[in-house]
Amino acid sequence: HGFIRFIAKRGVKINDPQAKLIADPATREDPKPVYKQIRDNGTLFDSRVVSLTVDHRVVFDLLRSDDFRTVIQGANLPAPLRAIEKRTRTSALHPLAPPSLLSVEPPSHTRYRKVVSSVFTVRAVNQMRDRLQVTADQLLDELVASGVGTVDIVDAYCAKLPVAVISDILGVPPEDRDRILKFGELAAPSLDFGLTWTQFRLVEKGLQGFDEWLADHIEFLRANPGDNLMSELIASSDDGVFLDDRELRATAGLVLAAGFETTVNLLGSGINLLINNPDQLARLFEDPSLWSNAVDEMLRLESPVQMTARVAKHPVEVEGHSLATGRTVVCVLAGANRDPKVFDDPDTFDVGRPNANKHLSFSGGRHFCLGAALARAESEVGLRTLFERFPDLSSAGAGVKRDTRVLRGFLTLPVHLGEPA
């Protein structure tokens, strides 16, 4: 087990700036000093294990470069360690292992993405806005009816809205929603590396539970097809046209998990930003047309997915550095979002920032977030409705940040709701 524990902790290296970046809780609290340290070393920093960049231009180009592929879980480990990791892993689908969209390249990627992309176009999402509004209002009606004055807004609202929306799209019945939220909570660190053994086991449990639930859900919909994306996916895969069974579970599972694991963080961070910056909230009350830009500014400043990575497919020159085949470059999206060469006064929250939408929080290139339009719409409708219904909403404590390194957001955020409007 000592060996396995070593693997599970493989990301952590003393005196490695990369390890400091991802592992230090102080960095999660305030990333500015670490970003500055990396920036002062140039546009690409060669750490011991990986290279990394917080430079907007370099991140932007890397995500679109054909010299790089996405990371596949475990693929960068030396062969003997990889074999052990394989044996210790369950058969559950991992978000960073094929056939997950996140870890495949064309032609598979093109095929999987084509199957789901039509549902998430800007046009399709705009047609969902009415439903979104109804769902947000329902959740807030329940809050008003419950008569509570102080709530954990993450639990009461931020987690419930996205899970309701994506569940509708994928035909998940209301009684299953709390369960999949729990699996999601357990599995969220699956995107991180440098996990402790205990964390590693919890992640496995979450992935396994989610996978089993998903298999049952697919079986149920096979027998009882409905008017939802999942039923369509099942029908097309049963025709043998698009996806085999594993591909179907991986694709639907990723869309579902990405649909409720990320937007919850944007909503929580957004609420936190607004209650701590009343001048910016006042601007939104004065001019509601700013909401859409405000959501981009929140995405920029609190990037719910802090980083991603790409791996060199062959020897390649980047910013004057020679990278060997297999070299990983960590693209710190949150760092690129605070690049002072692109954003004036980058650490300031400004809902009217003219180029707020130049953030890289949804990544770029062929893996650009499939749910970007949905996430934007959910956040805009969700936040605007919340503050319109509870204009005096205020902080009731600091809240607890998530412990994950790739995902950033609040686990809990207590607020006083104030009088409903």
| Minimum separation from the CB atom of position 362 to ligand HEM (A) | 5
Do the beta carbons of residue 371 and residue 258 sit within 8 Å? yes
Which residues within the stretch 81-110 sit at the binding site for ligand HEM (CB under 6 A)? 101-102
**Residue 79 is encoded by which pair of tokens?**
């062969």
Which residues within the stretch 345-364 sit at the binding site for ligand HEM (CB under 6 A)? 361-363
One residue of 18, 51, 199, 262 binding ligand HEM per CB under 6 A? 262
Task: Tell me: does residue 259 bind ligand HEM (CB under 6 A).
Answer: yes
Of the candidate spans 42-50, 197-205, 258-266, 388-396, the one that interacts with ligand HEM by CB under 6 A turns out to be 258-266
Note the Cα 351 to chain centre separation in Å: 22
Task: Tell me: does residue 367 bind ligand HEM (CB under 6 A).
Answer: yes
| Minimum separation from the CB atom of position 255 to ligand HEM (A) | 5
Element (H, E) at 197: helix 197-223
Select the residue whose beta carbon is closest to ligand HEM and give its number.
371
Instruction: Report DSSP state, residue 154.
Output: I
Q: Given the complex with ligand HEM, which of 101 and 140 has the nearer CB atom?
A: 101
| Minimum separation from the CB atom of position 376 to ligand HEM (A) | 8
Peptide bond preceding 107 in cis form (omega within 30 of 0): yes
Please give the Cα distance from 252 to 244 (Å, whole number): 12
Q: Given the complex with ligand HEM, which of 252 and 417 has the nearer CB atom?
A: 252
One residue of 132, 172, 221, 266 binding ligand HEM per CB under 6 A? 266
Q: How many residues does the chain have?
A: 421
Which residues within the stretch 153-192 sit at the binding site for ligand HEM (CB under 6 A)? 166
Please give the Cα distance from 178 to 185 (Å, whole number): 11
Element (H, E) at 22: helix 17-23
Task: Tell me: does residue 377 bind ligand HEM (CB under 6 A).
Answer: no
Peptide bond preceding 25 in cis form (omega within 30 of 0): no
Task: Tell me: does residue 269 bind ligand HEM (CB under 6 A).
Answer: no
Q: Which residues lie across from 395 on neighbouring strands? A: 415
Please give the Cα distance from 264 to 344 (Å, whole number): 28
Residue ranges in contact with ligand HEM by CB under 6 A:
70, 101-102, 113, 120, 166, 254-255, 258-259, 262-263, 266, 304-305, 308, 361-363, 367, 369-371, 374-375
